[in-house]
Amino acid sequence: MGRMEEKQGTMVPALMPQQNPLEQLQSKFKEVENGFRAWLAKQSLPVEAAVVTTTGAVQGAAIGALMGTLTNDVSSSLPTPPQASMNPQAMASFKQAQALSGGPLVQARNFAVMTGVNAGISCVMKRLRGKEDVQSSMAAAFGSGAMFSLVSGMGGPNQAANAVTSGLFFALVQGGLFQLGQKFSQPPVEDVNYSRTKFMLNSLGLQNYEKNFKKGLLTDSTLPLLTDSALRDVKIPPGPRLLILDHIHRDPTLREKQRHRG
């Protein structure tokens, strides 16, 4: 209940701030996760690869079991046609449909192999190469795609060729996703030629005219040279032009550069 405080001869409970239980749970989980990763980083490569592969397989099995439950074992409702009346390509397509619509146990096995192999190869490649890049990601995707094809029975009569094809497909998709993620995750590069100009415009509340400066190539080095006509040429209205020129006139550094150039 918290400690008691005396106030005017009476005992009143001190109000203690209560932390959100969800935040407590998230904080505890993050602490455990960081501790596990720190422990894992100290292990040898075989131990780390085995642990990562196992955890990846467990996660994949849970996802596969859930998907198999949602599909309600559609494969059991598919009638098995007589193999004699079907050509090899049709039979291979039928087996692929069965593999992708299996029940919880089948999908748990398939996804456990796929995610476990992917996690294990990624771990080994990262430890050996010292980095995680598109090549490592594509190699892991190729292995997981090939193993998924073999385990799920999607290969049909020519399992080896289909495993290679599936691996290549997985690798290409993963490579594209990796590059796309890298592109959107990288912060925009700050243009050093406009850093002082950007600061000036932000301080004046005129940041919307930054594009006008860049369009006219009015970089930081041109600030001491700015005139009303130069700002007019880049389509900046009269009011903002006056504020910019007044700021340049009041700035001691820019004013000194103007004096030296004059």
pLDDT at 7: 47
Residue-level pLDDT at 98: 55
Over the stretch 194-206, which tens digit does the pLDDT of each residue have?
888 999 999 999 9
Q: Can you give the pLDDT at residue 71?
A: 72
Say what the pLDDT of residue 84 is. Answer: 46
For the stretch 86-109, pLDDT in tens is: 455 555 555 555 555 667 888 889
* Residue ranges, the chain, pLDDT below 70: 1-19, 72-102, 154-157, 186-190, 258, 260-262
pLDDT value at residue 79: 54
Which percentage of the chain shows pLDDT scores above 70?
Answer: 76
For residue 248 the two structure tokens come to 């340049």
Instruction: Supply the angle between the helices 45-71 and 21-41 in degrees, to the nearest 10.
Output: 140
**pLDDT reported for residue 93:** 56
Q: What is the pLDDT of residue 1?
A: 45
Tell me the CA distances in angstroms from 41 to 5, 56, 114, 132, 203, one per residue in order.
Answer: 49, 16, 23, 15, 47
Q: Supply the pLDDT for residue 184.
A: 77
